Structure 1
Amino acid sequence: MELYRYAFLADTPTLPPSHCSNSTIEVVDAKNSNRPASLQRLPIEHVEGVLGSRGKLPCDVRVPTRTDKLHMVLWFRDKDAEPIYRYDVREKLLTDAKRSSVLGERLYFQTMSDPAHLSIQDLQAKDEGIYRCRVDFKNTPTRNLKINLTIIVPPETPVIVNDANGILASNNQVGPYNEGSPLRLTCEVSGGQPRPTLKWWLNEEMIGGAWVERNDGVIVNTLTHPNLQRKNLGSKFVCQASNTNLQPPKSASVIVNLNLRPLSVSILQRHSRLSTHTHYEIICESSGSRPPPNILWFLQGQELKGVTTEPDSDDLNITRSILSFTPAVEDDGKILTCRSENHWIPGSAIEDRWRLNVQYAPKVTLSLGANMVADEVKEFDDCYFECSVKSNPSTVKLAWYHNGRELRHNATQRVIMSNTRLVLQKISRHTAGNYQCSGQNSEGTTLSNSVLLRVKYVPTCKHNTESLVGAMKQETIQVICEMASDPPHVQFSWTFNNSGSEVIHVPQYHYTSSGTTSTLTYTPVTEMDYGTMMCWGSNSVGKGVAGPCYFQIVSAGRPFPPKNCSIFNKTEDSLSIACTEGFNGGLPQHFNLEVIDLVSKKIKLNSSYKMPLFSVDGMEPGVVFRFIIYSVNDKGRSEPFILDGITFRGYSKLTGPTADAAEINPLFAVLVGCTLVLVVVLSVAIIAVWKRSRRKPPIAKAYKRENGNGNGDANFETDDSALTKIENGLDEIGNPDVVPNKNGKDRGIRGFIRIHKTPPARRRKKLDLEVKNNGETVALTSLVETPDGVHRNHNHKSSLLTSSNHSSATPRESRI
């Protein structure tokens, strides 16, 4: 154990790094003055290590002679008598050396490097000092080496401060600065032992002045750049702080961002002339601005909208603005200006100008005649319009329109066109509507504004047909009257005529009115409560004596059969049938279709439909069918409409002639033909006899209404196309829906309108042609013809009238 007797215990001060690596130091130990002189005079090697990093203390362990061998390496620190690290390879291989450390894993002796060294992990400030390496050999005397370890404390990361004393994040942009403005940046760094240097760099070139240390120990370096140019855009200014070469300098940097003024602006594709009816996209380009400039369009000093601005896809330095522009008439000769400006840089705006040459289609304005008042035009007045035209070049055609349809000069129809004036004489309600004029030249055609001509007129019935209303006795119905009127505020009155000479005025409390509609509540009680109800209207223009609405109040019954049935869309196994519905008997009706196989007499189909439109499919080919169509309401079914002999061809199952068909006897064919002819002749004879023996059904002639002399009277004439077959078997006298007139003819119904009410059952008459009058049976022959041409029973009045002259057996009053 004599080997460890010479531990280094002297109070040896740490040598500064400036000492030479081969210098020696004389160590005097007062406590151990008898230490060998070889330990007191040793060369010292200076080593630096950065705080927190790994340090390396070199030690020469090379064997002096080939016959010698390394036994042990001991590491001592300053005055410590005991080694801090042992490396023992006595009687061992180098790889099997015995190691021990007082600092644990922080120390490790590496012999494979040249020179060998003691590695110290995570250097700390307390690790600074003098270390001694003692190397023992088997034969050669012990070798001692001294190492002075200096710990370098790096500075903190520098920070860059702008003029506003705001700390800028490293590697971020600073600015933006306007082109031509100065730049002033200050770099500050704290800490570091020894004190660090602080420098500015631009594009790997050192710039800026010297650094100084403030009283608070902070080192400062201020950079001033007097005039930022376009080339400085994106430049990176770097501030570096360093106090050792053992690690890279600590640095902070900023990237300069600049606002650049636009260099050029130009309007592209200038047209020699513009047309008002053409849409243009005018392009203006500007270059050199950062950020992209604001491109504004002005027309004679007024800013224009509808502008799209976008950077050029190929050159981001170019900004393009597209103006969507349709010239107006008043734009001719005006100045169009494109202005490019970087709003961050005052006074950076530049402009390009273009004087417009605009040709335009006629500019047309329509107005009512100067002497006319729009709200006082009435039917049968005269009116005129004036069309003002301005165009370049001159107008070649002027046209007039009524509700979109072009008008023609026609003096017979009292339509007169004179230059820019339209005159309408003796106008009617149909003259009302929107009027326009148009002008045309080589540039196109222009339509004027629309002027509404309002023609006031007296109320007339909106539907020019007589409505049929079905009702049962004691049933309350509502009769709706709609008038066409301008102004639309109508005063209504109702009258009733039950085929007598007297017209009954309906009290006002039986009906309600709103605008152009009036609703009458009516309850028939006796037979005399069925007849013609008329609705009249008046407004501020006058009373509509020529246009009342007619409602024929009839007793409800079975519906009339469908008519005018036709087949369409027929295929090999399907078809469709469309019919016209007949009178519904005053009740809601639906329609039935029955399909019967005439051979087997079986019903193949029985379907119900809301409308008289039928479709059948999947029918068997080669079979003769009968189609029976009839309508149904709550009172029963109508007479049928029959379609006979309907067959479907289908596809033949035979693709060619057979052997049996070729062997048919000709004599047999002749006999079959004669038999068929005989059957047909007999059938025709039987049908003729049968028809002759039948009683002819009564025929109701329908009449169509024509306007008469214009004073409210109406003329009627027979319309043979409106003949309607009355169902057989009805025990009726004539047609209950038709009122006889003085000519012995039936007064026709002006048409059928579907009424969604619940009418009563049709009245039935006895075969002896008698009716009841206040409980007394009276023959129809007692009806006399009045001077107004209407048959009336003088012994009975309508129950609409309530009189004190009635006998004690006064009939019940109708409920209106």
Structure 2
Amino acid sequence: MRWVLVFGAICCCVTCQTLVPDEEEAAIVSSVDAVLGRSATLPCDIDPGIREDRVYMVLWYRDTHTKPIYSFDVRGRPFNKAIHWSDPMVFGPRAYFVTVSKPAALTLDGVTLNDEGIYRCRVDFRTTPTRNFAINLTVIVPPHQVLVYDNSGRDIVGIVGPLEEGADLVLTCEVRGGRPTPTVSWFMNERLVEGDVEAIGDTLMVNRLAVKAVRREHLNSTYKCQASNTKLMMPAEKTVRLELLLRPLSVVIPYKPRQMVAKQDYTIQCQVTGSRPKATVTWTRDNRDFRRGKFLEEGNETVVISSVTFSPEPEDDGTFLKCLGDNPKLPGFSQEDSFKLNVVSCGEIFTSNGYSHGPDVRQHFKQTSVEKETDRRLFADVYWENRNE
């Protein structure tokens, strides 16, 4: 009888030893990523799968440690009265086992780099065999700095430029830090564009974007550098807007009167379009500054309407009134429009009626230029007045 008992004890011991490797091999392994400084969720399914069964104990281990670092004890008490214990030397109050989620999970706040590793969740049931889960926790370190430089190496904040139309645009994005190595991308107006990517050492990624001969339509385009190494948080990014210097496209005097009556008021308008920044408008008469009359200017950054109200003098006849539009930042690229002034005067003409016995006839002549609204033609009305002396 003694030998039988000893043999039985030896068999139980061997069985227990061989069960441990089997449980480890049968463990369900999953991977979990967590962002440095944020929360991690380590899943552990505690559902026995049998209605009559219930969980007794949940134990959490780290790596190859044999002592648990967290326990959830339901033995001898209702499930909602379970006792939570967290090793103060490992997680302390940062960890809490949440059972309302499906599956249940150990939530870890304020993740640090030291938290990275393999964790094992062991679930003991009343009748169901013990269940093990292995979780490989990886801590993601997001990039900590995104910088954008222009052609001259100047750090850009908000606006790049202004560049002259036709110039080349070169933007360099530097991303520092991040584990794993972040992906650095350029977006133009929210559309992905290709740049030249280079890794410098282990902690610096560079992406250079070159845009040849920027055009007028590139004005106010946005260029965004984006760095990302996880889907758990929004990418780190920096956006700049392109400012351009644009030459005037056109200068137009819409209405050029064919005739003007001396001493009468006329308003002449000039429209300058396409300049950025706002164009400066200059009026000249025979290439000399024209400052006579009242000047008014209105418009916006790309369209300027300048008006001059003046009374022509007889000596203005035959001269040229010119409107010039300039970009104050791009001298030498002005546009212009002009017309010749045809100035007439109101005069008195004395003639005879051709009869030797008749009275003299005083004839007054008056000519007025009128703009006809329907077809904008000019016509003259001649008024005659006969007065008998």
Asked if 1:275 is matched to 2:252, the reply is no
Matched with 1:342 is 327
Aligned equivalent of 2:40: 55
Q: Distance in 2 between matches of 1:230 and 1:252?
A: 23
Could you give the per-residue CA deviations for residues 146-180 of structure 1, whole angstroms, max 9, x where no partner exists? 211111111123111012221112xx222222222
Matched, 1:85 2:73: no
Conserved in 1, the CA contact under 8 Å of 2:187 and 2:193? yes
Alignment partner, residue 226 of structure 1: 212
Post-superposition offset of 1:217: 3.8
- Classify the secondary structure of the residue corresponding to 1:158: strand
Question: Counterpart of 1:688?
Answer: none
Where 1:38 maps in the other structure, the secondary structure is: helix
C-alpha distance in structure 2 between counterparts of 1:219 and 1:338, whole Å: 53
**2:106 counterpart of 1:106:** no
2:224 is aligned with 1:209: no
- TM-superposed CA distance for 1:215, in Å, is 4.5
Q: Match of 2:298, as an amino acid?
A: E
One-letter code aligned to 1:258: L
Residue by residue over 1:550-609, the C-alpha shift from the partner in whole angstroms, topping out at 9 and shown as x without a partner, is: xxxxxxxxxxxxxxxxxxxxxxxxxxxxxxxxxxxxxxxxxxxxxxxxxxxxxxxxxxxx
Letter in structure 2 aligned against 1:351: E
Matches within 5 A, 1:572-721: none
Q: Determine the C-alpha separation between the residues in 1 that align with 2:277 and 2:298.
A: 12
Which residue of the other structure, out of 356, 380, 405, is the alignment partner of 2:341?
A: 356
Kindly indicate whether structure 1 or structure 2 has the higher relative contact order, using CA contacts under 8 Å at least 6 residues apart.
2
Opposite residue 44 of structure 2, the aligned amino acid is C
The answer to whether the aligner puts 1:178 opposite 2:164 as a matched pair is: yes
Give the aligned residue type for 1:89.
V
C-alpha distance after superposition, 1:702-749 (max 9, x if no partner): xxxxxxxxxxxxxxxxxxxxxxxxxxxxxxxxxxxxxxxxxxxxxxxx
Deviation digits for residues 422-465 of structure 1 (CA, Å, limit 9, x no counterpart): xxxxxxxxxxxxxxxxxxx969xxxxxxxxxxxxxxxxxxxxxx
Note the C-alpha offset of 1:241: 1.0
Unaligned runs of 5+ in 2: 1-16, 351-364, 368-389
Match of 1:162 in 2: 150
Q: 1:192 aligns with which of 175, 178, 191?
A: 178
Amino acid at match of 2:308: L
Secondary structure at 1:65 match in 2: coil
CA distance in 2, matches of 1:165, 1:256: 16
Deviations 1:114-147 (A, max 9, x none): 2111111111111101111111111223222221
Residues 1:256 and 1:360: Cα distance change in structure 2 (over 3 Å): same
CA distance in 1 between partners of 2:201 and 2:115 (Å): 30
Name the TM-score, length of structure 2 as normaliser.
0.78
Are the aligned partners of 1:111 and 1:117 in contact in 2 as well (CA < 8 Å)? Answer: yes
CA–CA distance in structure 1, aligned partners of residues 59 and 23 of structure 2: 14
Cα offsets for 1:748-791 (capped at 9, x unmatched): xxxxxxxxxxxxxxxxxxxxxxxxxxxxxxxxxxxxxxxxxxxx
Give the partner amino acid of 1:119. T
Letter in 1 for 2:311: T
* Aligned Cα root-mean-square deviation (Å): 2.6
- Determine if the alignment matches structure 1 residue 75 to structure 2 residue 35: no
Q: 2:376 — aligned with what?
A: none
Moved more, 144-153 or 252-261: 252-261
Q: CA deviation at 1:243?
A: 1.3
* Superposed CA offset, 1:647-702 (max 9, x none): xxxxxxxxxxxxxxxxxxxxxxxxxxxxxxxxxxxxxxxxxxxxxxxxxxxxxxxx
2:315 matches 1:327: no
User: Structure 1's 141 and 34: CA in aligned 2 closer, same or farther, altered over 3 A?
Assistant: closer
TM-score after normalising by structure 1: 0.39
Q: Counterpart of 1:211 in 2: which secondary structure?
A: strand
Aligned to 1:536: none
Structure 1 position 395, deviation (Å): 9.5
Give yes or no for contact 2:45–2:103 (8 Å, CA) kept in 1.
Answer: yes
Aligned-partner Cα distance in 2 for 1:111–1:277: 95
User: Cα distance 1:34–1:204, how it changes in 2: closer, same or farther (>3 A)?
Assistant: same
- Maintained 8 Å contact 2:143/2:176: yes
Partner of 2:380: none
Larger radius of gyration: 1
Q: Say which SS state the counterpart of residue 196 (structure 2) adopts.
A: coil
Report the Cα distance in structure 2 between the residues aligned to 1:342 and 1:240, rounded to whole angstroms: 35
Counting only pairs closer than 5 Å after superposition, residues 79-158 of structure 1 correspond to structure 2 as: 79-102=64-87, 103-158=91-146
Aligned mates of 1:311, 1:188 — CA distance in 2: 41
SS at 1:71's partner residue?
A: strand
Alignment map for 1:393-404 (pairs within 5 Å): 393=347
Match of 2:289 among 303, 308, 327: 303
What is the DSSP-based 3-state SS (H/G/I as helix, E as strand, rest coil) of the residue aligned with 1:37? helix
Distance 2:258 2:190 in 1: 56
Q: Are the structure 2 counterparts of residues 349 and 309 from structure 1 closer, same or farther at C-alpha, using a change threshold of 3 Å?
A: same
Q: Deviation at 1:347?
A: 4.1
Q: Secondary structure at the match of 1:322?
A: strand
Q: Which residue of structure 2 lines up, in the alignment, with residue 36 of structure 1? A: 20
Report how far residue 186 of structure 1 moved. 0.6
Write out aligned runs for 1:161-560 (5 A).
161-169=149-157, 172-215=158-201, 217-305=203-291, 306-311=294-299, 317-360=302-345, 393=347
C-alpha displacement of 1:355: 0.6
Displacement after TM superposition at 1:236 (Å): 1.2
Q: Distance in 1 between matches of 2:46 and 2:249?
A: 74
4+ runs of 1 displaced by more than 4 Å?
393-396
Paired position in structure 1 for 2:9: none
Cα distance in 2 between the residues matched to 1:217 and 1:61: 41
Deviation at 1:344, TM superposition (A): 2.5
Q: CA deviation at 1:334?
A: 0.7
Q: Is the 8 Å Cα contact of residues 187 and 223 (structure 2) preserved in structure 1?
A: yes
Which residue does the alignment assign to 1:665? none
CA contact (8 A) 2:277 2:302 kept: no
Structure 1 residue 86: Cα displacement: 1.6
Q: Distance in 2 between matches of 1:287 and 1:52?
A: 54
Alignment of 1:11-26 (within 5 A): none
Using the TM superposition, give the Cα deviation of residue 113 of structure 1 relative to its aligned residue in structure 2, in angstroms.
Answer: 1.5
State, as a whole percentage, how many aligned pairs show the same letter.
38
| Contact 2:178–2:203 (Cα < 8 Å) also in 1 | no
The alpha-carbon deviation at position 198 of structure 1 amounts to 1.0
What SS does the corresponding residue of 2:43 show, helix, strand or coil?
strand
User: Do 1:208 and 1:222's aligned partners in 2 also have CA atoms closer than 8 Å?
Assistant: no
215 and 346 in structure 1: CA distance in 2 versus 1, 3 angstrom threshold? farther
C-alpha displacement at 1:45, in angstroms?
Answer: 1.9
CA contact (8 A) 1:208 1:224 kept: no
In 2, the alpha carbon distance for the partners of 1:133 and 1:216 equals 35
The 3-state SS of whatever aligns with 2:22 is helix
Question: Partner amino acid for 1:38?
Answer: D
Distance in 2, matches of 1:347 and 1:88, equals 85
- In the aligned structure 2, how far is the partner of 1:49 from the partner of 1:360? 90
Distance 2:206 2:295 in 1: 51
Q: Is the 8 A contact 2:24 2:132 kept in 1?
A: no
Give the AA of the match of 1:307: F
2:13 is matched with which residue? Answer: none
Report the structure, 1 or 2, having the larger strand content: 2
Q: Deviations over 1:259-293 (max 9, x none)?
A: 22222221133223223322322111122222222
2-structure distance, mates of 1:216, 1:82: 37
Alignment: residue pair count:
332
For the residue of structure 1 that corresponds to 2:145, the secondary structure is: coil
How many angstroms apart in 2 are the aligned matches of 1:88 and 1:332? 107
